[in-house]
Amino acid sequence: MNKKILLSALAAAVGLVLFGVVLILGEQLPVGGVGLCSGLGGALIGLGGGRILLPLLMRGMSPEDRKEVERAERDERSVAIRTRAAQDSWYWSLYLLWIPFIISMVRGELLWMVLCPVVIVLHCAFYLFHMYRWSKKL
């Protein structure tokens, strides 16, 4: 358990360092380097920070609420709904998600950097829509 938290904290710290590199050396980095450091930094902060914050939020819940969350995570119907929704949303937005992300990291143009978060939000919206759709079917 401690190794996972340490690794998550290390990932978040590396992400912050990458953002610091962009802020300090932004003009000196090649155009693709700025996007690459920013993208990887954000991903590492999201993965590492989420892995650290979720257990802390769970500790703040009452024991009954924690049991309910754990039960909902393991419930067969919930798992089936999340799995089918993820498959449907992934098929719809696979290329839509990765193409602007890679172009924004390589080219470093503002248009692609703005378009990338919009596409990620659309991907999440597709996922939520398909979760709703499959919850009605199952």
pLDDT digits (tens, 9 = 90+) for 94-128: 677 777 777 777 777 777 777 777 777 887 788 88
Tokens read off for 16: 């912050």
User: Which of 114, 120, 115, 118 has its CA nearest to residue 97?
Assistant: 120
Residue ending a domain, choose from 23, 40, 71: 71
Q: Are residues 50 and 107 in the same domain?
A: no
Q: Are residues 93 and 129 in the same domain?
A: yes
Q: Are residues 101 and 43 in the same domain?
A: no
Query: Which residues, 6 or more positions from 44, have their beta carbon under 8 angstroms from its beta carbon?
Result: 11, 12, 14, 15, 18
* Structural domains in the chain (count): 2
| Rounded distance between C-alpha atoms, residue 32 and residue 10, angstroms | 24
Residue ending a domain, choose from 15, 40, 71: 71
Q: In the predicted model, is pLDDT for residue 14 greater than 90?
A: yes
| Rounded distance between C-alpha atoms, residue 23 and residue 27, angstroms | 9
Domain that holds residue 134: 75-138
